[in-house]
Amino acid sequence: MSQNDEKIKMIREESIPKVLLKLGMPIIVGMMVSALYNLVDAFFVGGLGTSQMGAVSVVFPLSQIIIGLGMTFGSGAASYISRLLGEGNDKQANRTASTAILSSLFIGAISIVFTLCYLDKILIILGSTETILPYARAYAFIYIGGSIINIFNVTMNNMLTSEGAAKLTMISMLLGGVINAILDPIFIYPLGWGVQGAAIATVVAQFSTALFYIWYIFGKKGYLKFSIKYFTFDKTIYCQIFKIGIPLLIFQLLTSFSIGLTNTAARDYGDSVVATTGVITRVLAIGTFIVFGYMKGFQPVAGYNYGAKNYDRLNNAIRVSLIWSTGFCVFIALILVVFPVPIISMFSKNDTTMIDIGSRALRANGIMFAFFGFQMLYGSLFLALGKAKEGALLSMSRQGIFFIPIILVLPRVIGLDGVIYAQPVADFITTVLTGLLAVRLHKELRNAKSVDNKKWEHSNGINKKELNGAHVSN
C-alpha cells in the first residue's frame, strides 16, 4: 500500500481524535517553533531597552512578508505535488518541486534587494520613530539580507510535508529553534553585538535548518528530486502553484499591513507603545500559530469526509476540533488575562509605561482570544469544503476587512485606547460573522444529509420492490 493510500485509509477509518492528532501535531510543532523564533528575539532584545525592543517590533511585519513568499510557492506547489504523487506522476512532481524552489529564491532575492534599497523609508512606514530607526536599520539589514535562507526553508517545509516527511520538517525547525535560543543571548550580551546579534543568531539558526534540508535532498532520502534541469516555465505548474499560493500571500500581506498600521498608530505615543504592540503580537502568535497548525491537520479530514458524503464523520471531526481548539484558546486566554504583568515584564527593562499599557492590551486581547479557535475552525472548514467565498471572507476579516478600518478610525476617536482595543473589536465582529455563517453551514449539512438519506431509502425501496416482484413471478 502506498503512503498516499495509507493516509486516505487513516482519514477514512481511524478514530477522529487519533487522525486529527496524527495529521496536526507535526505541523503544530513546526508552527510553534516559527512563533518561538520571534519570541526569543524579543525576549533577549527586551533587556537592551525599549527602543531596541521597538526595533524588533517594527521589523516583524517584514518577516511575515518573507514567510508569505515562501508559503506562496511552498504551499502552492505542495498541493499540486500531493496529487501528482498520488497519480504516480513523479516526473511532473519533480519538475514542480524544482520550479517552485528556484522561483521562490529568484523572487525572494529581488524582493530583498528592493527592501534593502529603500530600507529606511519602509521602516518609517512600518511605524519606526527617530529613536527606534537606528536599531531597526541595524537589525533589519542583517535579518532581511539573510532572509533568502528562510524563504528556502519555508518553501521546502511545505513541499516535503506534501510527500509525507512531516516529522523531518518538524525536526529541522526544532533544530533551528534550539540553535537560535542558544545563540541569541551569547551574541547579544557577551559578544556585545546588541540587536545585530539577535539578527545574526536568527540567520545562523535558519542556515542550520537549510543545511538539514540540503542533506535530505542530496542524500536522496525522499521521493522528490531537485535539480536545475527539472526547472521549467510550465504554465500548468505556475497556475497550480499560484491558485493556492496567491490567497496565502494576500493573507500574509494583510497581516503585515495590519501590524504596520498598528505600529504607525502607536508611534504617536512613543517608543514604549511601539515596543508594546510588538510584544503583544509575538505573545499572541504562540497561540495563533498552534491553532493554525492544528487546522492544517483538520482540513484534509473535513474535505475528504465531505467529499465522501460521510456527514456523521464530518460532524464528529467538527465537534472534536471545536472542543479542542476552544478549550486551548480559553486556557491561553486565562493565562493572558490573569498574568499580563509578569508576561509583559519579561520583555521590558523596567519600563513602567510599557508594562501598564501592555497589561491592559494583553487582557483585552486575551478575552477575545477565547473565540479565536471558533473563528479559525470555520474559516478552515469553509475552505476545506470548497466554499471559497465564505472561507476567504473569514480569513480576511480578522486582520483585514474589519481590522484595517478600525485601526485607522478608532485611535483618532479615543486616542491610545483605540490602539489597545482595535484588535479585540475586530475579533468581536469576526466572531459574530463566524457564528452567522456557521449556523447557515450546519443547516446546509443537515439538508444534504437528509437528501442523501432519502436517496438511499428510495434506492433500497426500489430494490425491495424488484426483489418482491421477482419472488411473485417465481
**Distance of alpha carbon 439 from alpha carbon 221, whole angstroms:** 46
Which pLDDT value is given to residue 457? Answer: 64
Other Cβ atoms less than 10 A from the Cβ of 15: the count is 10
Cα separations (Å) of 372 from 67, 300, 324, 426? 22, 20, 12, 11
Burial class (CB in 10 A: 0-12, 13-18, 19+), 125: middle
DSSP 8-state class, residue 399: I
C-alpha cell at 346: 519579561
DSSP 8-state class, residue 233: -
State which H helix or E strand residue 88 sits in.
none
Among left, alpha and beta (phi > 0; psi -120 to 50; other), residue 152 is alpha
**Distance of alpha carbon 78 from alpha carbon 57, whole angstroms:** 31
Do residues 261 and 412 lie in contact, with contact meaning Cβ atoms separated by under 8 Å? no
Which pLDDT value is given to residue 464? Answer: 46
**Distance of alpha carbon 184 from alpha carbon 127, whole angstroms:** 25
Nearest to 413 by CA among 264, 265, 259: 265
Which pLDDT value is given to residue 193? Answer: 94
Per DSSP, the three-state class of 118 is coil
pTM, whole model, 2 decimals? 0.81
Burial class (CB in 10 A: 0-12, 13-18, 19+), 277: buried
Amino acid at residue number 152:
F
**Distance of alpha carbon 118 from alpha carbon 139, whole angstroms:** 15
Cα separations (Å) of 335 from 36, 76, 323, 359, 370? 17, 36, 18, 12, 11
DSSP 8-state class, residue 222: S
Which pLDDT value is given to residue 163? Answer: 66
DSSP assignment of 317-353: HHHHHHHHHHHHHHHHHHHHHHSHHHHHHTT-SS-HH
**Residue 63: partners with Cβ closer than 8 Å, 6 or more residues away:** 38, 143, 147, 150
- CA atoms in the 13 A half-sphere facing the CB of 461: 6
**Residue 50: partners with Cβ closer than 8 Å, 6 or more residues away:** 271, 272, 275, 348, 349, 351, 354
CA-based end-to-end distance of the chain = 46
Do residues 418 and 265 lie in contact, with contact meaning Cβ atoms separated by under 8 Å? yes
pLDDT tens for the 474 residues of the chain, in order: 455 556 667 777 778 888 888 777 777 877 777 777 778 888 899 888 889 999 998 998 888 888 888 888 887 887 787 777 767 787 888 898 899 999 999 999 999 999 999 999 999 999 999 999 999 999 999 999 999 999 998 888 877 766 666 677 778 888 888 899 999 999 999 999 999 999 999 999 999 999 988 888 777 666 677 888 888 888 888 988 888 788 778 878 888 889 899 999 999 899 999 999 989 988 998 899 889 888 878 887 888 888 878 888 889 999 999 999 999 999 999 999 999 999 999 888 778 889 999 999 999 999 999 999 999 999 888 887 878 788 888 888 888 889 999 999 999 999 999 999 999 999 999 999 999 999 999 999 888 888 777 776 666 665 544 545 544 444
Do residues 156 and 185 lie in contact, with contact meaning Cβ atoms separated by under 8 Å? no
Do residues 200 and 228 lie in contact, with contact meaning Cβ atoms separated by under 8 Å? no
**Distance of alpha carbon 421 from alpha carbon 125, whole angstroms:** 22
Do residues 290 and 27 lie in contact, with contact meaning Cβ atoms separated by under 8 Å? no
